[in-house]
Amino acid sequence: MNIWIITTGSSDVQLKTKENWNHLYRQIRNKCDNRDFSPSRPTNADGDEPFQVPARVMGIVYGENIEEYDNLCFPIFETLSAKLFEIKATPDKIIVITTDQSEIFPDSEYKRSNKCPYWQDTCSLQEIFKLYFLKKFPNTKLEFCELKPFADSKGLDDWNNTLTLVQDTLGKLQFASYDTIYVSHQAGTPAISSAIQFMSLAKFGKQVKFLVSSEYKQNYTDIIPSYNYLRAIQIQEAKALLERYDYAGVERLLKPYLQDTTSEIRRLLKIATLWNYAEFDEFAKQRGEAAEERIKNWWWIGYEAAYLALVRLEQENTVEALFHSFRAAEGLILEWAINKYDKYIDEDDKGYKLKDTILKVLPKYVGNLSFKQQANFREYRNIPLYSDTLFKLLQTARPESKTHPYMKLIWNDAKDERNEQFHRLLGLTKKELFRAWNASEQSEWERKILGCLEFISGQKFPSLKAASLMSQVHDELREALNKCQHNLLS
């Protein structure tokens, strides 16, 4: 059997002309709270478009004047029905879903606006719907299901409430496993549309095919298999993971669908995952031409580490946020040192070492070291270049860094907090994270990190996000997911 489930809305029944409207409306005006309802064409409609009035009003007027049926037209029903005839899928049963919110708006005080949802209800159109479908499909069984919220409950624009109503109403439907169920869900509120989609997929799965029309293309219809909707739902879930910067989670969720048609998403996810694991060099390599200019600069990687700290904070991973915020500054000082004093620095499997030949250009450097560091420096003729020895190099070359309000945090507060964190098993609150940078809130924390990077690099960016190549990848990935979801359902 072919089953057709269809939602209804105000645009399903329209007027060919409005010539007789005033006469017919005067007869039932008292049933519409004596309000004025005049037919109008949709915004931007051309001169040939039919006229519309709110569904409840249309049903009351023509329900009592059914002999005037010939003045009515059903453009959306006609388009959808034509598609079923085209694919030779004449329905054996049609289930029409109507709405009635009269219990939510019990008296005229709540219905004083013509835009009140009460007037959009389609329950009064039942006799007109019946006449249309019995003429169009004379051998088809017709049923009606009504979505009627209880008094004091939320209306049909509330997703949770509407989903419960749809589950209670359609949950009782039983079909054979071999039946094909066509679902047209676009009419009514967005909450109704979403709930019908969800309920149809949950209850009938692969039996469902969505019969949809286009709001913008007249006479356009399409049959969308449930597979596309399920995939679109998973893309929606992937978008939620994306907003948490869980790129690996997005990849796991979409892995079955990342075929050639979505190769751009797969490529971007690969790049994003590398960045999320702080593999910045490989990230830039995979990013290709878009990163070519940026990675020519010695300072670029420090800004990526800083943005990663911001992302970790958004993920509420405060310990890693502290680690990457400090790592961004310390790492950038190292990149500065390598760029400026490359011939005085050696690298081995244990890291970087500053050679004593640095004293030719920075003779005061050794005096800034501790007595023990000075002794080791003279004995080994080099010194490991990290933490304090690295900071002393910057302070020697750029004495103003000693009194810079943000740079002082690197070798005082932030450093101490980082060291303490790596020697205990306790967590770290946002307040403690900000306090490590002598900040009281996130915007101040970001500003101070950015200020450190600006001092070291000499660059100016409006924000950590604006300074990061990854923020561009993230935006491109969001756009690619949106495009993929749209294509599935268009």
Domain boundaries along the sequence of the chain: 2-219, 298-458
Question: Residue 153 has what DSSP assignment?
Answer: S
Q: In angstroms, how far is CA 345 from the centroid of its own chain?
A: 47
Write down the mean pLDDT value for the chain. 88
What integer pLDDT is reported at residue 425 of this predicted model? 45
pLDDT > 70 in the chain, percent: 92
* Size of the chain, expressed as the number of residues it contains: 490
- Of 4 and 236, more confident: 4
Predicted TM-score (pTM) of the model is 0.63
**How would residue 108 be classed by pLDDT, with cut points 50, 70 and 90?**
low
Query: Lowest mean pLDDT: which of 118-122, 170-174, 325-329?
Result: 170-174
- Neighbouring residues of 366: CB distance < 8 A, sequence distance ≥ 6: 359, 374, 377, 378
Neighbours of 276 (CB within 10 A): 19
pLDDT confidence tier of residue 229, bands split at 50, 70 and 90? confident
Does residue 350 register a pLDDT over 50? yes
Query: 221-230, 239-248, 363-372, 382-391: which has the minimum mean pLDDT?
Result: 221-230
- What is the band of 281 on the pLDDT scale with cuts at 50, 70, 90? very high
Q: What is the pLDDT of residue 436?
A: 86
pLDDT in tens, 406-443: 998 887 755 666 666 555 546 788 998 898 898 999 99
Q: According to the model, what pLDDT value does residue 394 have?
A: 95
Can you tell me the mean pLDDT for 114-136?
Answer: 93
- Pick from 396, 418, 433, 420: which is nearest to 323 by CA? 418
Nearest to 121 by CA among 99, 149, 148: 99
Q: Is 319 exposed, middle or buried (0-12, 13-18, 19+ CB in 10 A)?
A: middle
Q: Please determine, for residue 302, whether its predicted confidence score (pLDDT) is greater than 60.
A: yes
For the record, the structure tokens of 113 come out as: 């606006």
Q: Tell me if 50 sits within 8 A of 73, measured CB to CB.
A: yes
Nearest Cα residue to 308 out of 438, 454, 470? 470
Task: Copy the structure tokens of residue 385.
Answer: 């270049």
Give the architecture (CATH level 2) of 298-458: Up-down Bundle (1.20)
Across residues 139-148, what is the average pLDDT?
A: 94
The predicted-structure confidence for 28-84, as pLDDT tens digits, reads as follows: 888 887 788 888 887 666 667 899 999 999 999 998 889 989 999 999 999 999 999
Average pLDDT over residues 123-137: 95
H or E element at residue 212: strand 208-213
User: Which tokens is 211 given?
Assistant: 């019969």
User: 355-365: buried (b, 16+ CB within 10 Å) or exposed (e) per residue?
Assistant: beebeeebeeb
Residue 114: which pLDDT band, with cuts at 50, 70 and 90?
Answer: confident
Q: How far is CA 96 from CA 6, 182, 308, in A?
A: 5, 12, 52
